[in-house]
Chains A and B, each alone.
Chain A
Amino acid sequence: MDYAVVVALQILSGVATLVIVSLGLAVVFGMMRVINLAHGEFLMLGGYTAILSYGHGANLWLAILVLPPIVVGLIGAVVERLLIRRLYGRMIDTMLATWGLSLAFIGGVTMLFGNSNTGVSAPLGSFEVGRFHVASYDIFLMLAACALSAIVWAVLKLTPAGLIARGTMQNAEMAAALGVAPDRVYAITFSAGAALSGLAGGLIAPVAGVLPTMGTAYIAKAFITVITGGAAMLTGTLVASALLGTVSTVFTFVWTPVFGEVALLVFAIVLLRLLPRGITGRFLRRSL
Chain B
Amino acid sequence: MTFSRRDALKTALFAAGSTLAAPAIMRHAALGADPIKVVGIHDASGGLDIYGKPMIATLDFAVDELNAAGGLLGRQIELINYDPQSNIQLYTQFATQAATKDKAAVVHGGITSASREAIRPVLDRFKTLYFYNTQYEGGVCDRNTFCTGSTPAQNVQKLIPYVQKNWGKKVYVLAADYNYGQITSKWITKYVREGGGEVLAVDFFPLDVTNFGPTISKIQAAKPDAVISALVGGAHISFYRQWAAAGMKKQIPMGSTTLGVGNEHIVLSKEEGDGIVCAYSYFQEVDNPLNKAFLEKFHAKVGANAPYLSELPMRTYIGVQLWADAVRKAKTVERVAVTKALESGISLDTPAGKTTLDPKTNHVTLDVYLAQVENQGFKVLDTFPDQPPLDTASVCDLVKFPNTDKQFVVDVKI
Contact = CB atoms under 8 A, between A and B. Distances in A.
B205 A209 contact: no
A168 interface: no
Given A133-B246, A252-B215, A213 B241 contact: no
B89 to A, nearest CB: 17
Contacts of B246: 126, 133-135
B65 interface: no
A216 B238 contact: no
B251 A133 contact: yes
Interface string B266-279: 11110110000000
Interface in A165-197: none
Given A118-B376, A119-B267, A258-B205, A217 B245 contact: no
Nearest to B244: A121
Nearest to A130: B220
A131 B211 CA distance: 21
B405 to A, nearest CB: 32
B117 to A, nearest CB: 22
Nearest to A213: B47
B238 A209 contact: yes
B331 interface: no
B144 interface: no
A287 interface: no
Interface string B227-254: 0000000111110011011111001000
A138 B214 CA distance: 12
A204 to B, nearest CB: 8
Interface string A10-52: 1001100100000000000000000000000000000000000
Nearest to A204: B210
Nearest to B271: A121
A281 B204 CA distance: 36
B16 interface: no
Contacts of A126: 245-248
Interface residues on A, range: 35 or more
Interface in A34-90: none
A115 B208 contact: no
Contact of A258 (B177, B221, B376): B177
A7 interface: yes
A249 B47 contact: no
B208 to A, nearest CB: 4
Given A211-B237, A257-B205, A116 B247 contact: no
Contact of B245 (A131, A135, A220, A257): A135
A125 B247 contact: yes
Contact of A7 (B53, B217, B268, B269): B217
Task: For the complex of A and B, list the 6 residue pairs with the smallest distance between their C-beta atoms, beginning with the closest.
Answer: A209-B237, A126-B247, A122-B245, A135-B245, A116-B263, A211-B234
Interface of A: 3, 6-7, 10, 13-14, 17, 107, 110, 114-122, 125-126, 131-135, 137-138, 206-211, 213-214, 216-218, 220, 248-249, 252-253, 256-258, 260-261
25 contacts: A6-B220, A10-B213, A10-B217, A13-B213, A14-B211, A17-B211, A114-B305, A115-B53, A116-B307, A118-B268, A119-B241, A119-B268, A119-B272, A121-B244, A133-B247, A133-B251, A138-B213, A138-B245, A208-B235, A208-B238, A210-B267, A217-B235, A253-B214, A257-B204, A260-B209
